[in-house]
Chains A and B, each alone.
Chain A
Amino acid sequence: MTAIFSDELAMLAIQALERTAFVLVDAVENEEEHHWTEEEATGCLFSRIQYTGPASGQIILAGSHGFVIELASSLLGVEPEEVDIETEGKDALKELANILGGSVLVELDGQHIDYRLQVPEECKIADWPTELEVWAHCRLASEEEWLEIVWSSDRVGSEGKPIGRPPCPQ
Chain B
Amino acid sequence: MTCQVLIVDDSFILRSAIKKVVKMAGIAPEAIYEAGNGQEALEQLDQHPIDVVLLDINMPVMNGEEFLEACKAMPNPPECLVLIVSTESNEKRLLKMRLLGADSVLRKPFEPEELAHILNTKLGVKL
On whether the beta carbons of B11 and A19 are closer than 8 Å, the reply is no
Smallest CB gap from A89: residue in B: B13
- Residues of A with C-beta under 8 A to B110: 19
Report whether B109 and A16 are in contact in the complex, using a CB–CB cutoff of 8 Å.
Answer: yes
Q: A15, B109: Cβ atoms under 8 Å?
A: yes
In this assembly, does B89 line the interface, its C-beta being within 8 Å of a C-beta of chain A?
A: yes
Interface size class of B (residues with CB under 8 A): 20 to 34
CA distance A111 to B88 in the complex (A): 9
- Contact with B13, one of A92, A102, A112 (Cβ below 8 angstroms): A92
Query: Per DSSP, are chain A's interface residues mostly helix, strand or loop, or mixed?
Result: helix
Taking the closest CB of chain B, its distance from the CB of A103, in whole angstroms, is 8
A40 at the interface (CB under 8 A from B): no
Q: Which residues of B contact A20 (CB under 8 A)?
A: 17, 108-109
A interface size (C-beta, 8 A): 30
CB distance from A12 to the nearest CB of B (A): 10
A112 adjacent to B91 (CB under 8 Å)? yes
B90 touches A21 (CB 8 A): no
B121 to chain A: closest CB distance in Å?
20
Contacts of A82-141 to chain B: CB distance below 8 A:
88, 91-92, 95, 98-99, 101-103, 105-106, 110-115, 117, 119
Q: Mark contacts of A1-26 with chain B using CB atoms, 8 A cut-off: 1 yes-contact digit, 0 otherwise.
A: 00000000000000110111110000
Task: Report the nearest B residue to A19, measured CB to CB.
Answer: B109
Q: With A20-B108, A106-B107 as known contacts, state yes or no: A95 contacts B89, CB within 8 Å.
A: no
Answer whether residue A72 sits at the interface, using C-beta atoms and an 8 A cutoff: yes
Knowing A101-B87, A102-B88, A105-B89 touch, does A95 contact B109 (C-beta < 8 A)? no
**What are some 7 contacts across the A-B interface (CB < 8 A)?**
A16-B108, A77-B20, A98-B108, A102-B86, A102-B107, A103-B87, A103-B109
Name 5 extra pairs, CB < 8 A, besides A21-B17, A91-B13, A117-B87. A75-B17, A91-B11, A99-B87, A105-B87, A110-B90
